[in-house]
Amino acid sequence: MTLEEKRDFFEIDCTERKLWNFMEIFGNDNQVYLEIGSGMGEFLRMRALINHNRNFIGIEIKDKRLRQIINNLDVQRHSNVRVTRLFVDEKVTEVIPEGSIKKVFINHPDPWPKKKHHKNRLIQPAFIDTLNRIMKRKGIVWIATDDQGYAQWIVDKFSVRPDFESLYEEGFSREPEAGHIVTYFE
C-alpha cells in the first residue's frame, strides 16, 4: 500500500473545519481516545493494538511526523486509528464535538525549561478549558513527563480547577503504569 493510499485511510482532513462524526470516521460507536502530540506514533500504534475496542485519534502538527506515523500504521492491525494535523486551541470544537472524548493522552510535551519560555508550554489555562469542553464527563487526562519542573507546573495548573480532579495524592505518580509504552521523546 502506498503512503498516499494509507493517508486516504488514516488521515482526517481538517481543512474544511467540519464537525467530526465518529460513526462515519470509524464505522462503530466505540469510545474515542485522543493523543495530543503523537510524535513518532509509537504510543498511538501500541495503545491501539492493546485497546482494539477503542478508537484512537492522534494529533500532530508537524507534517513530517504525521507522514512517518501514517507510514508505520497497518490498515489491518490499526483500523481503529486515525490521525490529523490540527492545532488544539479554543477553535478545536469546530471539528471535535464537545463532550465526545473519553480519554486524552499527552506524552512528553516540550517542557520549555527556561522561565522566559514558559508561555510556550502546552499546559496553560486556555488549553485546559479546551480539554474540558471536548471531554466526556468523568473523562481522563493522562499526561507523562520526565521533567520534574514541568510535572509540578502541570499539577499546579490543574489543581486550581474545580472541573478536574487528580487521581493521585501528590497530583501525579512517579511509577509508570502497567504496560508502559516508551516513546522517542521520553
Which residues form the catalytic set? 110
Rounded Cα–Cα distance for residues 131 and 139 (Å) = 10
Contact 141, 135 (CB under 8 A): yes
For the packed helices 42-50 and 63-72, what is the interaxial angle rounded to 10 degrees? Answer: 40
DSSP 90: G
The DSSP result for 91-134, as a single string, is GGGGTSPTT-EEEEEEES-----SGGGGGG-S--HHHHHHHHHH
Residue 92: count of CB within 10 angstroms of its CB = 21
Where b means 16+ CB within 10 Å and e means fewer, 120-143 reads ebbbeeebbebbebbbeeebebeb
Rounded Cα–Cα distance for residues 106 and 49 (Å) = 18
Residue with cell 508505520: 72
